[in-house]
Amino acid sequence: METEVVIIGGGIMGVMLARELSRYKVDAVLVDRHPDVGFGTSKSSHGTIYSGLTYLVSKSLKAIATSGGGNEAHFEKDRLCHDGYEMWEGILRELDVPYCRRGDTVIARNEEELSRLKLMQRAAKPEWNFRLLNREELFSLEPHVTPEAIAGLHDADHVLTCYPWDIVIAVAENARENGVKFFLDAEVRGFSRSNGFTVVETTRGPIKTEFVINATGPWGADVAKLADACDFELKFFKGHTLITDKRAGDLVNNSVHWPPTPGTSKVIQPTLSGTLRLGSIYRPTEDKDDDATDAEDIETVFQRAHDLVPALSRNDIITCFTGMRVFSARDPEEYIMEYAPHNKKFLNVILRLPGFTPAPAVAGKVLAMLEEAGLKLRKKEDFNPYRKRIPIFRELSDEERNRLIAQDPKWGHVVCRCETVTEAEILEAIRRGATTLDGIKFRTRAGMGRCQSGFCGPRVVEILAKTLGIAPTQVSKKGGNSRIVLQEGKELLREKGV
């Protein structure tokens, strides 16, 4: 295969770069080792796009105190996050991604914490309109927070709540619609150079290209080293997230958290579907592939949330997963957006958090860097910025449902009963690129409900096998050897000579 630009990594940064490039007459290929986009770090991101108070909380205290940290890299990060935030709502609308706007409250229990609230208030931009709440005002806003609270700092706006995979999938679909090729299930194994071109060697074959963008997040240093294009080091932090049942969803009205301390994140955050997300303690780790949850960390995360909202019960927890955060070893506050040493046609784009918020602005900056390195950016007249989501059966009116069923009876066949997902939605997800159970789950929510695919799992396996023309034993949860069933019945008995 030959192309002009290879983007390595199908997370938020990779797909956003793909979409931005698809505005121009540029041949681009996105490569990812997973069978689908967003299967790496992005899927376990917070899924929020934010500015204001939440953004301040994402920074270290020192960085807040020095408002930007004082160096150009920090100011640039602030700028990109601000610009990205301003761009997102328009993009979510263009791409028909469900989202809602929420606010954020930081809570203080004592004078020391109150002084940190005041520090954040001083660091705020005037247009953010933060309000320092006294105890009474705080409890009228968030009645379920700990009675120990003495004050709160409130930002009524500046959080766009979405699902991270919704965003990645939507951006990827739109980039593909506008001509970017997706080369998935292809792991990059090495790079070679020939006549000024780079050959990206993947497990599915080589791709000859002029430019390479490395947007592989935690794996960024490994990929860059394969090309001898790495002069940065990364540090990794693993954190746990718990999700509650919807019945606990009313305990908070906005995100609520403690004043920031190093290695923590938002404590309680309402999600789009009315569940709560309980956030994390982040611990340093050497193993960026380690996504295992740990009993002690689960307990710590729960306890921190429970301290904040005592009405939360352990029985409210319905699932737990981990996420990986990546920081530059040079300076934990910076984004890595740079040409490889001695090669302006190889770009490393590795973001620390927030990663979703600045992505559109970073993509713009990276395109400018590509142009400077010699890529011709000529606008496409027929670029289509719009994408429609798969209709969500459970959210439609009965009239709309009947209209769809009249067109195709499969809209009346409910396959996932917990989330009320129809066969038509699953088939449409496959048509748009889902090849695994997780791919279907992220696109339709089938299997995300209370029975966790116990009921719909076997049916989705059957639909995937039939539609993709593969054996049920080849259907996987998330690619590779994550197969759902291992053999046909009786095969094992035959092997054993029974």
Partner 1 sequence: MPLGNVDLLIVGSGPAGLAAAAKAKEAGVEKVAVVERAEYPGGLLHQCIHNGFGLHYFKEDLTGPEYAHRFIGRTRELKTELCLETMVLHISSQREVTLASAKEGIWKIQPKAIILAMGCRERTRQQLLIPGTRCAGILTAGTAQRYINIDGLMPGKEVVILGSGDIGMIMARRLTLEGAEVKAVVEILPYVGGLIRNEVQCIHDFAIPLLLQHTVTKIHGTERVEAVTVAQVNGSAKPVAGTEKMVKCDTLLLSVGLIPENELSLMAGIELDPLTGGPVVDDRMETSVPGIFAGGNVVHVHDLVDNVTWEAEAAGASAAEYIRDGGKGGGKKIALKAGKNIRYIVPHTITADRGVNLYMRVREPQENVQLRIGQIYKKSLRAVRPSEMLKVSLSDREWEKFKRGGKELAVSCERKD
Provide the binding-site residues for partner 1, judged by CB under 8 A.
Answer: 289, 291-295, 298, 317-321, 398, 401-402, 405-406, 409-414, 417-418, 420, 450-452, 454-455, 457-458, 461-462, 472-473, 476-493, 495-496, 498
| Six-digit token string for 411 | 């809209």
Burial of 208 (0-12, 13-18, 19+ CB in 10 A): middle
User: Which two tokens mark 244?
Assistant: 């509650």
Give the tokens for residue 295.
Answer: 């009993």
CB 445 within 8 A of CB 421: yes
Contact 463, 422 (CB under 8 A): no
414-416 and 276-278 beta bridge pairing: unpaired
Residue 329 or residue 493: which is nearer to partner 1 going by CB?
493
- CB closer to partner 1, 131 vs 478: 478
In the complex, the smallest distance separating the C-beta of residue 476 from partner 1, rounded to whole angstroms, is: 7
Tell me how far, at minimum, the Cβ of 422 lies from partner 1, in Å.
8
Shortest separation between residue 59's beta carbon and partner 1, angstroms: 30
Nearest CB to partner 1, comparing residues 136 and 292: 292
Q: How far is CA 483 from CA 136, 429, 464, 472, in A?
A: 54, 19, 12, 9
User: Which amino acid, residue 340?
Assistant: A
Smallest distance, partner 1 to C-beta of residue 320, A: 6
Q: Do residues 320 and 243 make contact, with C-beta atoms less than 8 angstroms apart?
A: yes
**DSSP labels, 129-158:** --EEEEHHHHHHH-TTS-TT--EEEEEEEE
**Identity of the residue, 431 or 450, whose beta carbon is nearer to partner 1 in the bound complex:** 450
CA distances 393 to 420, 443, 464, Å, are 7, 13, 20
Q: Closest separation between CB of residue 425 and partner 1, Å?
A: 13
Q: How far is the CB of 232 from partner 1 (least distance, A)?
A: 26
Rounded to a whole number of angstroms, the CA Rg of the chain reads 23
Considering the complex, what minimum distance in angstroms separates the CB of residue 492 from partner 1?
4
Residue 252 beta carbon to partner 1: minimum distance, rounded to whole angstroms: 21
CA angle in degrees (0–180, nearest 5) for 208-209-212: 125
Q: Is 293 exposed, middle or buried (0-12, 13-18, 19+ CB in 10 A)?
A: middle
Among 47, 407, 349, residue whose Cα is nearest residue 213: 349
Query: Based on CB atoms, which residue is closest to partner 1, 176 or 240?
Result: 240
What is the signed CA dihedral for 241, 246, 248, 250, rounded to 10 degrees?
A: 120
Q: For residues 337 and 10, what is the distance between their CA atoms, to the nearest angstrom? A: 17
What is the smallest separation between the CB atom of 465 and partner 1, expressed in angstroms?
Answer: 10
First-to-last CA distance in the chain?
Answer: 49
Please, which residue, 101 or 494, has the CB nearer to partner 1? 494
**Is the CB of 110 or the CB of 482 nearer to partner 1?**
482
CB nearer to partner 1: pick between 379 and 490 = 490
Smaller CB separation from partner 1, 325 or 441: 441
Cβ proximity to partner 1, 115 vs 203, nearer residue? 203
Name which of 228 and 291 has its Cβ closer to partner 1: 291
Q: Cβ 230 to partner 1, closest distance in Å?
A: 25
> What minimum distance in Å lies between the beta carbon of 54 and partner 1?
27
**Beta partners for residue 192, in sequence order:** 199
- Residue 429 CB, shortest distance to partner 1, in Å, is 18
Give the residue with the Cβ less far from partner 1, 112 or 399.
399
Q: What SS3 class is residue 329?
A: coil
C-alpha to C-alpha distances, 345 to 6, 68, 217, 226, 269, nearest whole angstrom: 11, 30, 19, 15, 41
Give the integer Cα–Cα distance in Å for 303 and 248. 15
